[in-house]
Amino acid sequence: AETGDERLLHKALVELTVAAPLGDLLDIGCGQGRILKLLASRAHRVIGVDVDPDARRLARAELLLAGSPNCSLRQGDMYSLPFEDKEFDTIILDDVLSDADRPTAAIAEALRLLKAGGRVLLLATIGAGGAEKTRKLFADWAAQTGLRLAQPRSIPDKNPGWVLGVATS
């Protein structure tokens, strides 16, 4: 079941879809597909990518139960994804950058796949350094990759568990 914090995170993600449509959505590091399931009905086409076959299997079952026919799952490496340039309107880097060896390379790969006017959502679980450290990382990565990053949000505001950043190329 969702925790209260997860509900707040999901609410924040859904609010983004109200402001601007998701269009074709790619979730890099989709894990068991929680965010895919949440956003599927608000997107045109949804693809989740994860290196872990067990996570993909669980996600597939979840999406089947949820009745999300516009969703598919692929195996993929975030540094070299099996898609054409400019294929997606919205790309979520789903809690994969903090542990990445080359986070800016992963962002550059996401940018290759982003349509003009599209958005990249950076989502990270807050680690040891707290929300401030995560926000600073987001800002550094954005600066290095030419992303225009809006002020990242801590979710929830008090004792946050996540930082969510919205960026455009």
Q: Mean pLDDT over residues 55-68, rounded?
A: 92
- What average pLDDT score do residues 145-166 get? 93
The pLDDT assigned to 83 comes to: 97
Closest to 119 (Cα-Cα) out of 91, 94, 81, 143: 91
| Structure token digits, residue 143 | 């600066």
**5 pLDDT band (50/70/90 cuts)?**
confident
Question: Three-class SS of residue 104?
Answer: helix
pLDDT-based confidence at 56, cuts 50/70/90?
Answer: very high
Distances 71 to 43, 49, 132 between C-alpha atoms, Å: 9, 11, 34
Separation between Cα atoms, residue 44 and residue 129, nearest integer Å = 37
Radius of gyration of the chain (CA): 15
**Whether the predicted pLDDT of 88 surpasses 90:** yes
